[in-house]
Structures are given as structure tokens and as C-alpha cells.
Homo-oligomer: A and B are copies of this chain.
Amino acid sequence: MKKINIFLVDDHALFREGLRFLLLRMDFIDKIFEAQNGRDFLEQIVEVDNCIVLMDIEMPVMNGIEATKKALELRPDLKVIALSMYSEESYYTSMIEAGAAGFLLKNSSFSEVKKALQEVWEGRSYFSQDILQSILDQVMHKMNTPEKETEDITLREKDILYYICKGYSNAEIAKKLSISKRTVDKHRENLLQKTQSKNTANLVTFAIKHHFFEI
């Protein structure tokens, strides 16, 4: 295995020092670079190859999210693993959007850091169990909450709603279901009323939110 370089980006010198010490004992690691904020890092990164970045999120001057975005614009081949103190939802979603390949909490064990480095280096992503759990909780929350005020939508209305979301006009839906266009008009009217929607756009967002239609 080719040796890899590590870039530590964190504003706490002591943290960098400790991590550097641990990392240097790994035989698959070549050099270790350091920066104390996002801007520092961006200035140095142009000259470094074969590199995994361990990026703190909260930093002065330029935070980890901005730094990751900009770095990946310049160097799409870079691997960035975010390091954070907390498993704040807004943090990891932002980091995922920014393009991070992994996310670790600072209370992770070093063996988890090693595992993350290996996974990321081989092109996969790695997120700590806590993060994944938190993402999953969101997914499950979104899946479980809606079934409350939506129960009075009838089966037929769900059919109509589905076809509306697919982009069919009332006339087309009528043809598809072998019913009169006027009937579809009525269903649509009732749907608008029941979902307190003003128009098709509202109806579609409602349908997607309540999982009557999947994108």
C-alpha cells in the first residue's frame, strides 16, 4: 500500500500534536501537515498529494465547512474527514453537502480514526456510529411523523394525487383511470381543500412531505 499523507486542520495546537504523535506510529502514513484554520490550509494544500485531510469544523478565520467546499473545488481528488466535538445535525449535513468523505467525533477511539482513514483511502465513506445513528433517527422521524392529519384522504384521492405529482393533467388522469374528467376535477378540488393547498405546487409538496409520492 502506497503511503498516505495526512493534513491536520485544527485551531488547537495541543490536539494536533497529540494526533500527530498517534498518527506517526502508523506505518502507512508518510508526512503529516498542519494548519490552524481553513485559510492556512487552503494556502498549503496546493502542494500536497496523496492526502487525507482531518478537518475540524469550528475554527476562526475560515471554518471547516467553507474550507472543505473550496478545497474540493480546487482538488476534487482530496479526501476530507470532518472532526467535530459534537454530533450537531447541522454540522454533519453541511459537511456532507460540502463533500466530506467521512465524519468523526473527537471522542472517537484512535482505532476508529485508523478505520476511517483506511475506508476513506479506499474510496468509501466513513461516518462514526453516533453520526449514522443520528442521521437514521432523522430518516425514521420523517418516516414516522406524517400519519396524523392525513388520514381523511381517501384511496381514490391518493390515486389522483399520485398522478398529479407525476405531471398528468386532469384529462390525462381521467383517461388513465377510465373516469370522467369532471370527476378528476372534483377529486382535485377536494384534495386542495383537505390538504389546505392553494394550487398544484402546494399539493405536490404536501404529497412528497407525507410520502404519497416518492421522488
| Residues on B with beta carbons closer than 8 Å to the beta carbon of A143 | 96-97
User: Which 9 pairs show the lowest CB-CB distances between chains A and B?
Assistant: A132-B132, A167-B202, A204-B204, A200-B200, A209-B215, A167-B201, A167-B198, A201-B204, A200-B201
Copies in the assembly, this chain: 2
The listed residue with most B CB atoms (<10 A of its CB), out of A135, A164, A201, A213, is: A201
Q: Is A41 an interface residue (CB 8 A)?
A: no
A contact residues vs B (CB 8 Å cutoff):
96-97, 124-127, 129, 132-133, 135-137, 139-140, 143, 164-167, 169, 197-205, 208-209, 213, 215
Residue of B nearest to A142 (CB): B215
- Are B205's CB and A164's CB within 8 A? no
The one of B125, B136, B200, B202 in contact with A199, judged by C-beta atoms closer than 8 angstroms, is: B200
Residue of B nearest to A202 (CB): B167
